[in-house]
């Protein structure tokens, strides 16, 4: 009996170690902590796959538990006043410095858009709440964290439209005056899918005829910027990296547009482009816009194009009109539309499928004459900024946030 218990214990420990261990690059700091954190994400993903297979709940519905685990109730403290508001029908969480004097000076403001692949995430997650408070206290700024609607069921362009409406509402004179915000010192910022929305809003505000809103800066943290080529060197190199493997990123993209699994299968094979969207592939040609050091062992091959009825039969034709839309893929805008964009901060990580999106955007913005600060973390991984809460607090997250806030301090 005792021997049997020992065998079971050893077997359990061996299975646990096998499940947790992943071949993670040596230069990533705190590797075992990342393995442990990712084992939770993988477990939820496997459970989500199983529930969807059995017809119990859709995949993203189960994955949303990641958001729920981190949720907090944002409350005011001695330094920060927190209120939950509605701007033009969209929920927001507003963070303001607690005013000591009777007539405060006008302040900076950061409109922050959370990540989560347009399907997960919330401003009420603990890491975002902590980040907003840090920005408020260190910059004496107002932070507007947007609770845009998520897909599914709110597919593109609903999340983008929610954000766009919030930005326009915030720039109304009476709203700026209410929160003592200087209209010339407002930035839009976000991580991952939030970086996508931040870049898209920055572009579209400049394009709208007669639009008077002028953002001072855009700060994009490992942004996702294009859906046309999902086989760039970073997608290949990091396809099995923790937190955001290629399969999950492709799943986020497909769910952003439709629940039809045909698109997911086509995107996984990188055969989702229609003749219409293929015209825009020139804007994501990584052999032209990616510095050679990031090419590594990979050779450029243009994504395949589905033809006519075949694309429609695969369920790809309708969504292809969406992922060719620059509001979904900001990297697809022509050079002329980049020239007058606000100064940009772009953070990228070496071990991230989205690395090349951010680097290509930095390259194109610079070529268009936009002032760009590009910070690349050679030991960074996707989602690192979110890992600031014990027990999954990472040193690299602290460095990233410190450098990000330093840039805002100097440029906003």
Tokens 């910022």 found at: 189
Q: What confidence score (pLDDT) does residue 10 get?
A: 38
Q: What are phi and psi for residue 290, nearest 5 degrees?
A: -105, 125
The residue from 114, 155, 272, 382 that is catalytic is 382
Q: What confidence score (pLDDT) does residue 100 get?
A: 67
What are 324-382's pLDDT values in tens digits?
899 999 999 999 999 999 999 999 999 999 999 999 999 999 999 999 999 999 999 99
The residue from 129, 191, 229, 352 that is catalytic is 352
Q: What confidence score (pLDDT) does residue 141 get?
A: 97
Predicted structure pTM score: 0.93
Q: What confidence score (pLDDT) does residue 15 get?
A: 44
Contact 142, 133 (CB under 8 A): no
Sheet holding 181-191, edge to edge: 80-87, 90-97, 142-146, 107-113, 181-191, 217-221, 343-351, 372-381
Per CATH, the architecture of 79-227+322-411 is what? 3-Layer(aba) Sandwich (3.40)
- List C-alpha distances in Å: 197 to 22, 81, 247, 256: 32, 26, 21, 12
Q: What confidence score (pLDDT) does residue 268 get?
A: 96
In our burial notation (b when 16+ CB lie closer than 10 A, e otherwise), range 191-221 reads bbbbbbbbbbbbbbbbeeeeeeeebbbbbbb
Tokens 């910070």 found at: 375
The structural domains of the chain, with segments of one domain joined by +, span: 79-227+322-411
| Runs of H (alpha helix) within 21-155 | 31-53, 59-63, 65-70, 126-139
Q: What confidence score (pLDDT) does residue 316 get?
A: 55
Contact 200, 338 (CB under 8 A): no
Q: For residue 382, indicate whether it is catalytic.
A: yes
Peptide bond into 21 cis (omega under 30): no
Spans in the chain with pLDDT lower than 70: 1-21, 100-104, 210, 308-320
Residue-by-residue DSSP string for 305-372: B--HHHHHHTT-HHHHHHHTSTTT-GGGS-GGGTTTPPEEEEEEEEE-TTHHHHHHHHHHHHHTT--E
The residue from 122, 189, 192, 234 that is catalytic is 192
Q: For residue 192, indicate whether it is catalytic.
A: yes
């Amino acid at each position: 009996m005792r021997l049997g218990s020992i065998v079971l214990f050893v077997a359990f420990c061996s299975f646990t170690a096998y499940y947790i261990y992943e071949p993670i690059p040596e230069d990533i700091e705190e590797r075992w902590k990342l393995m442990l954190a990712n084992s939770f994400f993988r477990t939820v993903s496997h459970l989500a796959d199983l529930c969807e297979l059995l017809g119990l709940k859709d995949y993203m519905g189960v994955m949303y538990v990641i958001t729920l685990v981190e949720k907090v109730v944002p409350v005011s403290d001695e330094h920060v006043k927190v209120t939950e508001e509605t701007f033009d029908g969209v929920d927001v969480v507003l963070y303001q410095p607690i005013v000591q004097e009777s007539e405060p000076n006008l302040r900076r403001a950061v409109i922050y858009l959370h990540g989560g692949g347009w399907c997960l995430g919330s401003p009420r997650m603990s890491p975002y709440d902590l980040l907003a408070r840090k920005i408020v206290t260190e910059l004496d700024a107002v932070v507007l964290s947007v609770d845009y609607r998520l897909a599914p069921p709110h597919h593109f362009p609903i999340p983008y439209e929610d954000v766009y409406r919030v930005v326009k509402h915030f720039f109304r004179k009476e709203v700026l005056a209410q929160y003592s915000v200087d209209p010339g010192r407002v930035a839009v910022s976000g991580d991952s899918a939030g970086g996508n929305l931040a870049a898209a809003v920055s572009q579209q505000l400049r394009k709208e005829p007669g639009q008077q809103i002028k953002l001072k800066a855009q700060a994009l943290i490992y942004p996702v910027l294009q859906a046309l080529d999902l086989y760039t060197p970073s997608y290949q190199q990091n396809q099995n990296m923790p937190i955001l493997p290629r399969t999950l990123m492709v799943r986020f993209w497909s769910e952003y547009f439709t629940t039809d699994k045909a698109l997911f299968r086509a995107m996984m094979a990188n055969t989702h482009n229609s003749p219409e969207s293929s015209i825009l592939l020139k804007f994501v040609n990584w052999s032209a816009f990616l510095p050679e050091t990031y090419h590594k062992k990979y050779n450029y091959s243009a994504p395949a194009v589905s033809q006519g009825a075949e694309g429609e039969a695969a369920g790809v034709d309708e969504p292809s009109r969406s992922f060719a839309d620059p509001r979904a893929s900001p990297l697809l805008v022509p050079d002329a539309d980049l020239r007058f964009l606000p100064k940009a901060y772009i953070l990228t990580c070496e071990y991230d499928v989205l690395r090349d999106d951010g680097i290509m955007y930095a390259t194109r913005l610079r070529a268009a004459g936009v002032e760009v600060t590009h910070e690349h973390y050679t030991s960074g991984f996707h989602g690192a900024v979110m890992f600031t809460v014990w027990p999954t607090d990472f040193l690299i997250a602290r460095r990233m946030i410190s450098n990000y806030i330093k840039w805002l301090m100097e440029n906003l």
